[in-house]
Chain A
Amino acid sequence: MKDTPLEIGRAAPRFDAYAKLTGKEKYASDFYAPDMLWAGVKRAGVPHARIRWIKTDDAIRIPGVLSVLTSKDVRGTNRQGVVRKDQPVLADDKVRHCGDPLALVVAEDRETLAKALASISLDIEPLPGVFDPENAMAQGAPLVHEENPEGNLLLKGSLEAGMGEKGFEECDETVEALFRLPSQEHAYLETEAGWAIFKDDILEITASTQSPFRDRYEAAEAIGFDMHKVRIIAPYCGGAFGGKDGITVQSLLGLAALNNPGRPVKMWWAREESILASAKRHPARLYYKLGAKKDGIFHALSVRIYFDTGPYDNLGGAVTALGLEHSGGPYRIPNTSLKAWAVFTNNPIGGPFRGFGVPQVTAAMEQTVDMMAKSLGISPLDIRVKNALRRGDRNPAGTTLTGSTGIGECLRKISASRLWQESETWKKASPPFKKRGAGLASAMQGMGYGPLIPDTANAKIELTQEGLFRVFCGVVDMGQGNASTYLQIAGEILNQGLSGMELVLPDTARTLPSGSSSASRTTFTYGNALITASKTMKKRLLERASDLLMAKGPEEMTLVPGRVRHIPSGKEMPLSALAGILSDAERTSVARYRTPSAKDSPTRDPNLSLHGIPHIVFSYAAHAAFVEVDTLTGLTEVKGFLAVTDCGRVLNPQIFEQQIQGGIAQGLGYALCEELKTDRGVIRTPDLGTYIIPTSIDLPDMESAAVELHEEMGPFGLKGAGEIAMNGPFAAVANAIADACGIRIFEGPMTPERVLGALEKKPSCQEEG
């Protein structure tokens, strides 16, 4: 079975499954060695303060403690960040959130490390903090970064199309609302981890990361070490979802290793530390106003979005920009005025998380659409179909859609589904004290980095001396299975099965720079590069084999698993034999691909373009949620869920479903129970007992279907599927609750308490049909 050539479009077992199932796979957290040291950091515990003195002498005197380092020991810029470098490796002047690291300790073992960290005392002057994004922009608000000329503003963006706000004057109906979305914790099961060693003048860092190549220069610059002597190795992540798209342990490990040459140093954040220090989905406040003609055609949209990015950029500007670009949803709206602000506060760090700003705006927009449908007396499905984008339309951000645009098809598939058709009957059969409802949401997700940051991948494939094809994967597989898809792509082109292939995971010393594992880009970008590299390889092998076997030309030759065959004579040559004849250069093929960007200029603001606007390739989805609300407790149970997705051609149906189901699960958690609670910057849900993610009995079986439109630019017609499923569930559930009970919860998540509160305010609910 492993010899069967891999084929595009057919489910193939994941290459990584065997090692993961047997416990053999070594994650970054799985490294141990007899001479290994442990590193850890002392964190601030207060949200905003000036640092006067960090007292480390007690710690350094503890036997078994090798180093205690503070910002004074950082030789580089001591600043990290992708767009804006504002996050210290070790805090120097100020503490800007509770999770800021102040001192780094390296010790012989974990007990000593814990003792040393506890013995460090801090002399810090508390400062008034700022915890609300709108207050943060007020005159006189405490400043998170005093040196920032724009106060607490990280990014402000505005997109305007048609007549903008003036469009409302021509509308028959207007609805508006304010939505509040919570901070969401990634809760990947593998917390931030890695190990490093400084040996023979090379600093080698193995980390659970989504972005090894970027980490390399970011960490090198921050800690002041020659980037060319830094090597980053990125094993499979035990989950990441955006939370490891940026520096976590890397610089700290580098610093720890440089100060303790020759010995491996490990750092592994405890769950509580992970929740305290890591970036989360931005809490958001969204003001929406939608106008339509009385036939339900959307005419004007006004949006004001505030993203609380916490104390550091951490891609928060880019997240906000993507939210802004998607804030109007997959609809034709001729007049739009879209505005967004990313604001610094002393709350936990806001950063990338699956969907990258789009889940927030989709939650708001799709509820606004239902509110409009209700006030016009049009069905939620019809109003969406009427306004759904088609190829050639401009989207609400002003981008002309030149590629596949399948939202209409997704909606039609929902309407034809058994679940949707039977939902009226199902709703009427609700048991006592329960109300049932069905809700819809449309969603879209742009692919890649946008116009300015080169969205490139460099693929490399090698025919080994043993006759195997070795794919050098430059983009991290954080669990989504892209590495397996790469093998499938190469296998399809070279007609090989899994047993004829090898995989090299991202390693700055072995693989080529291919960007981060993010932005629904991994298979799109690297896949396109790999197609070229594999085709070049195939052509060369057929040509060389054709000469060796005295064929008339390469058209007489074909690749079969492990061999190359001369078709007319049936003569075959093992690939290992062919490899033995080829030079090293001939056995390797590399190719680069850059994802194109939109040709429109919806904004003249170069800063917005830098932050990713506009995109050209979008995936689409329509989601339907079927819920049962308990009117006594307010508990909402999702009884069924249907997702129809347009992410182009599906290369591996199993991996596609994994992404859709997993995205829905995180989306349902976001809708119903997940909320990182803070009180003046202090996290009140510090562990997995208080930060609630769904268990197996909180989620329904889900149905997923694909609208397989061919996307010209995509590898074999594919568009990214990694994020899209995260966007719909919140609004689909909210709309289903509204359908069930006639209430709308404007603040997420829609916990039993919030739902019951809304039901109490609407006493007629018990009697309503």
Chain B
Amino acid sequence: MRRVFLANNTNELWDMLRQYPEAAIYAGGTDLLVRMRKGICDPSALICLERMDCLKGVREEGDQIFIGACTSHTALLADPIVQRSFPVLAAAISRLGSPHIRNMGTIGGNIVTASPAGDTLPPLYILGAAVEIMSMDKTRRLSLADFIRGPGHTDLKPGEILAGVWIKKDQPYNIFSLEKVGQRKALAISIASLAALLRVSGEGIIEEARLAWGSVGPTVTVSKEAESFLAGKRPEPGALGEAARIAMDAVSPIDDVRASKSYRRLVSGNLVLRLGASVDGNSPQPAWLPPAD
């Protein structure tokens, strides 16, 4: 039998971690409990953070927004600050797993799992998110890019937990795009995804671009080269095509049961081509048959 502890606050949590340093920590369980079923891990004890109210919710602090690690995806989708300030993140979350998975899973869990296909990671990268890490005696902050070390690897040390994410509130972009390519529209693990933020001038010139790809490398792929290439250009087929070529060089995908390396590479580039449609106000996300309401 495995012991399962529900931590209600940090004091309880540190106590539990002191007593059971080997315990696995989870919030929604949508990842850990599935890995346990598959026999990938077999922890002797579990600590569940779903009751850690201090790590939940979205709040403003100065020019920054703090998102508690234990905030569920569903709560984030309903949050007015997230909807208003970070629609690219909301769009990614709306394609994550299924409604049930979003009810249970948390943003902290998605980050700490550090899957190459983690749906929240590309938007968080381009939003310049930083993570706050907490242990019994201190907290520290570092950029998300530094925190994610590789597939399934983070900078989290024993005795530390992820407390939340900091994102600058005012983002200097007026266009966002989020596209996820999966094997189906729900309950899908990303084959390739592109999160993009653009600042486009009144004259239609891209002043700044931020691009991040998911599932096409060991961690999120960014391309400074593609971003700086697009700066100063109109989002037209020629420029986007060149940026797409740069992107295809930047990614380092692998073959797996979902898709081949070459498909992932091609799509990484192709998704850039659709950015023009976002600027034109056409939804970048494939729609389905209009409901007959």
Contact = CB atoms under 8 A, between A and B. Distances in A.
Interface of A: 431-433, 630, 632-635, 637, 639-640, 673, 677, 684-685, 689-690, 692, 694-698, 700-701, 751-753, 756-757, 760
Contacts of B187: 689, 695
18 contacts: A432-B282, A433-B274, A632-B271, A632-B274, A633-B270, A633-B271, A635-B286, A639-B288, A673-B183, A685-B257, A689-B189, A692-B183, A692-B188, A695-B186, A698-B186, A701-B289, A751-B183, A760-B266
B286 A630 contact: yes
Contacts of A701: 289, 292
B96 interface: no
Contact of B267 (A632, A640, A677, A692): A632
Interface SS of chain B: loop
B235 to A, nearest CB: 12
Nearest to B34: A689
A701 to B, nearest CB: 6
Nearest to A118: B39
Contacts of B259: 753
B286 A637 contact: yes
Contacts of A697: 185-186, 288
B266 A639 contact: no
Interface SS of chain A: loop
Given A673-B183, A692-B184, A751-B183, A433 B273 contact: yes
A432 B287 CA distance: 12
A696 B274 CA distance: 26
**Chain B residues touching A, range:** 20 to 34
Interface string B74-99: 00000000000000000000000010
Interface string B180-197: 010111111101000000
B277 A432 contact: yes
A490 B23 CA distance: 62
B181 A633 contact: yes
Interface string B251-286: 000000111100100110011011001000010001
B289 A700 contact: yes
A633 B183 contact: no
B30 to A, nearest CB: 11
Contact of B260 (A635, A690, A692, A753): A753
A690 B98 CA distance: 15
A677 B259 CA distance: 12
Contacts of A684: 257
A698 B185 contact: yes
A696 B186 contact: yes
Contacts of A677: 257
Q: Which of A432, A632, A698, A751 has the most CB of B within 10 A?
A: A632
Contacts of A751: 183
A756 B266 contact: yes
Contact of A639 (B260, B270, B289, B292): B289
Contacts of A640: 289
Contacts of B267: 632-634, 752, 756
A626 B98 CA distance: 26
A752 B27 CA distance: 34
B211 to A, nearest CB: 15
B266 A433 contact: no
B247 to A, nearest CB: 13
Contacts of A633: 181, 267, 270-271, 286
Contact of A695 (B184, B191, B273, B292): B184
Nearest to B185: A697
B292 A694 contact: no
A698 B191 CA distance: 16
A55 B184 CA distance: 43
B111 to A, nearest CB: 21
A637 B288 CA distance: 7
A701 B289 CA distance: 8
